[in-house]
Structure 1
Amino acid sequence: MSGAWKAKRFWKEASVVPEAEGFGVRLDGREVKTPAKRALIMPTEAMAQVVAEEWDAQEEEIKPHLMPATKTANAAIDKVAIQHGEVADMLADYGDSDLLCYRAPQPDALIARQATLWDPMLDWAAEALEARLIPRVGVMHAPQDPTALEALRRRTHALSPFELAAFHDLVSLSGSLILGFATALNRASADEIWTLSRLDEIWQAEQWGADDQAEELAALKKESFLHASRMFTLCRAVDPLD
């Protein structure tokens, strides 16, 4: 055997076409399917255009790792749409152990930085999401107000499969349901919110110096976080440019 079989480009042009339920991508007129053989139909023309551009950018050999928007769309159709309730519940559970609510007992400078940067996000959530989460000192779990958690759960379940697929990465990568919503609802830029999610790591690096391996991993996670933010915007029913 000379090596594993690799998919080759067989088309000349990728195009976006309107479908009954949204927008699809065609390769020289052929319908693109997900890995589970479902039609690759996206909710907005803007998202479908990004996916088509990924297919057009492929050269002789198809490289799926260079097609993140296609991967997100596949996940939304093949996984999230099938298990929407389970995925929504899993993400909503972050509210009861949200990153923003676990505060350092010391030193004073870190305590102050967490309060200065994280408290405004909790205040925003109390107003915009009708969910007041209370910070705690230390890492021991302390339950949040069930009313606040239920408000967050309802909002999470209300997301469409495509929104939820992107939202999954916003929450899991940041460790915060509140920061996930803040990104999705444009409370601040995705870059700014990612920095907020790494407050503790940044503090440690300032005290002891940066770890090259940890920084490389953080850079990869940031890239995925920014991609998820873009996908959430692109899949909204409203035009992201409005």
Structure 2
Amino acid sequence: MSEWKARRFWDAATVEKADQGHTVHLDGRPVRTPAKRPLVVPTEALAREIAAEWDAQEGVIDPRAMPFTQSANAAIDKVAVQKDEVADMIAAYGESDLLCYRAEAPAELAARQAAEWTPYLDWAESDLSAPLIAVNGVMPHPQDPRAVRALRERVRAQDIFALTALHDLVSLSGSLILGLAAQMGRAAPEELWRVSRVDEDWQREQWGDDEEAAALAARKKAAFLHAARFFVLSRD
């Protein structure tokens, strides 16, 4: 038996005002999330991106070609119902941030990590009130509880759309500091992604390209850049 797949049933997707934001209508009918909640997003710009994804569908609906719709669904159906838990999970990255664990050898890699990562730790201390300690090796090292608390409070203060974006920015890069830097415009998302890949780029330079690893890295980069864009579009 062949699997049933939803097909396009509407002529036009339009953006409409809604309580607490904007929504998308398909021939006058409001779009709902997979959990049947109203799909209401905070800005017209984000709603227009979502409407464009629905308008671009032809024949069978392909959710994979609708990343902004998927992110909005995740914010409404998943993050909203467990906001504190999601925030704490993201904030926990501050206790073992990628930028804090440096190679003991070779010296060239350690120097590259220091050059690329230390400026962001300095920024975390000056702008986020979160001085984190960098150590050599991969063994867990406790951070100052005051720094961890400052990061947690900053994460917990975010709305569900910002948290949805931050979750991907942090989990993909391995760094809460780089995720917050993306949200706060400290550097371009492409640059922040490059900074997060110091170790991988070093390995590639030493051993050459691996086709499978390169494909995975490309998918992760695209997801990271999407999360950054989703965050920007969700702001007023």
Q: TM-score range by the shorter chain?
A: over 0.9
Q: How many residues align?
A: 236
For the pair 1:206 / 2:205, whether they are aligned, the reply is yes
The match for 1:112 is 111
The match for 2:72 is 73
Deviation, structure 1 residue 91 = 0.4
Any gaps of 5 or more consecutive residues in structure 2?
A: none
The match for 1:135 is 134
For the pair 1:182 / 2:181, whether they are aligned, the reply is yes
Separation in structure 2 between the aligned mates of residue 125 and residue 46 of structure 1, nearest angstrom: 30
CA deviations on 1:170-195 (whole Å, 9 max, x unpaired) are 00000000000011111101000001
Separation in structure 2 between the aligned mates of residue 108 and residue 9 of structure 1, nearest angstrom: 57
CA deviations on 1:107-136 (whole Å, 9 max, x unpaired) are 111111111110000011111111111101
Q: Could you state the TM-score of these two structures normalised by the residue count of structure 1?
A: 0.97
CA deviations on 1:19-50 (whole Å, 9 max, x unpaired) are 11100000000010000000000000000000
The match for 2:225 is 226
Separation in structure 2 between the aligned mates of residue 117 and residue 173 of structure 1, nearest angstrom: 18
1:205 partner amino acid: R
For the pair 1:22 / 2:21, whether they are aligned, the reply is yes
CA RMSD, 1 decimal: 0.6
For the pair 1:34 / 2:33, whether they are aligned, the reply is yes
Separation in structure 1 between the aligned mates of residue 67 and residue 124 of structure 2, nearest angstrom: 30
Q: Could you state the TM-score of these two structures normalised by the residue count of structure 2?
A: 0.99
Separation in structure 2 between the aligned mates of residue 144 and residue 40 of structure 1, nearest angstrom: 39
Q: How does 1:35-114 map to 2 (within 5 A)?
A: 35-114=34-113
Separation in structure 2 between the aligned mates of residue 127 and residue 81 of structure 1, nearest angstrom: 31
Deviation, structure 1 residue 79 = 0.5
SS at match of 1:18: strand
1:164 partner amino acid: L
Separation in structure 1 between the aligned mates of residue 199 and residue 70 of structure 2, nearest angstrom: 31
For the pair 1:216 / 2:215, whether they are aligned, the reply is yes
SS at match of 1:83: helix
Separation in structure 1 between the aligned mates of residue 205 and residue 9 of structure 2, nearest angstrom: 51
Task: Report percent identity of matched pairs.
Answer: 59
CA deviations on 1:142-177 (whole Å, 9 max, x unpaired) are 100000000000000011001101110000000000
SS at match of 1:15: strand
Deviation, structure 1 residue 209 = 1.1
1:66 partner amino acid: A
Deviation, structure 1 residue 211 = 1.3
4+ long deviations beyond 6 Å: none
For the pair 1:162 / 2:165, whether they are aligned, the reply is no
Separation in structure 2 between the aligned mates of residue 75 and residue 229 of structure 1, nearest angstrom: 15
1:74 partner amino acid: N
SS at match of 2:34: coil
Separation in structure 2 between the aligned mates of residue 230 and residue 92 of structure 1, nearest angstrom: 21
For the pair 1:9 / 2:8, whether they are aligned, the reply is yes
Any gaps of 5 or more consecutive residues in structure 1?
A: none
SS at match of 1:82: helix
Deviation, structure 1 residue 66 = 0.2
1:91 partner amino acid: I
1:193 partner amino acid: L
1:46 partner amino acid: A
